[in-house]
Amino acid sequence: MGGSDYLTVGWAVEALVVFVLALFLRERPYRLLAMVLLLACTVKIFLFDIWQLKTTNLRVACIGTVAVTLLAGFTLSRLFALSSEKSTGTVASVKVLQSPLNFDRATHHFFFFFAVGLITLLIWRETTAGGYLTAAWALEALVVFILAVLLNERVYRLLGMALLLVCTAKIVSLDVWQLHTPERIIAFIVLGAVLVLVSFFYTRYRESWRRILLGH
C-alpha cells in the first residue's frame, strides 16, 4: 500500500489508541478526539480510498483493517460500558436513546455503525453482480440481527431492519428486472432464507424482541 493508504489505517489505529487512553483515564476530551479521528478516517475512505485504490487486495487490506480496528474499539467500549453499568446501575444505550447529546457515554454505538457502514460499502464495491450484492447484504443484515439479540440493543435491530429493507427494495425494483436467471434465483433464495430466519428468531424470542423494541 502507498503512503495515503497507510495514512487511513494509521488514523484508525490512532483513534483506537486515543479511545483506549480515554477509557483508562476517564477523560471526555480524549473520547471526543478519538471520534474526530474516526470521522476523518471514515470520510477519507468514503470520498477517496474506495475509489482510488485500484485493486481488490488493496481495498480489502485498507478498509478491512479499519473495520477490524473499529470492531476492536466497539468491543473495548462495550466492555467498559458493562463495567460502568455495574457500578452505576444505568444502561448506557438507554442514556443515548433518551439524550442524543450524551454520545460520548456510549461511543461503542458509533464504532459499530461506522464498522458496519464500511463493511457494507466494501461489499458493494467488491460485488460486481447485483444478485450476489443483494445476497451479501442480506447475510450482513442477519448478522446484525443476531448481534442485536445477543447484545440486547434496539438500535442494532433497527440497523438490521434497514439493511433488509434496502435488500427488499433492491430486489423488487432492480434485481427482478435486470439480473440473469441464476443471479436472480440466488438473490431470492438468500433473501427469503434470511427473512425466514429473522421471522423464526422473532417468534422464538418474542419477549426479548419486545424488550429490545421498547428499549428496556
Q: Which of 110, 131, 120, 115 is closest to 174 using CA atoms?
A: 131
CB-CB neighbours of 185 under 10 Å:
12
Question: CB–CB of 104/95 below 8 Å?
Answer: no
Contacts of 159 (CB under 8 A, 6+ apart): 113, 116, 144, 148
User: Tell me, what's the pLDDT at 96?
Assistant: 43
What Å distances lie between residue 141 and 99, 153, 158, 211, CA to CA? 27, 14, 10, 20
Determine phi and psi for 101, rounding to 5 degrees. Answer: -70, -15
Q: What angle is formed at CA 140 by the lines to CA 38 and CA 163, rounded to 5 degrees?
A: 85
> 166: which 3 cell numbers?
434496502
Report the 3 state secondary structure along 92-156: HHHHHHHCHHHHHHHCHHHHHHHHHHHHHHHHHHHCCCHHHHHHHHHHHHHHHHHHHHHHCCHHH
Question: CB–CB of 105/96 below 8 Å?
Answer: yes
What pTM was computed for the model? 0.80
What end-to-end distance do the CA atoms of the chain give, in Å?
46
pLDDT values of the chain reduced to their tens digit, one per residue, 216 residues: 555 667 888 888 898 899 889 888 888 888 888 888 888 988 999 998 888 888 888 888 888 888 998 898 888 888 876 676 555 555 444 444 444 445 545 678 888 999 999 999 999 988 866 678 888 999 999 999 888 878 878 888 889 889 989 988 888 887 778 777 787 788 888 888 888 888 777 777 666 555 555 554
So where are the chain's domains? Answer: 1-126, 129-216
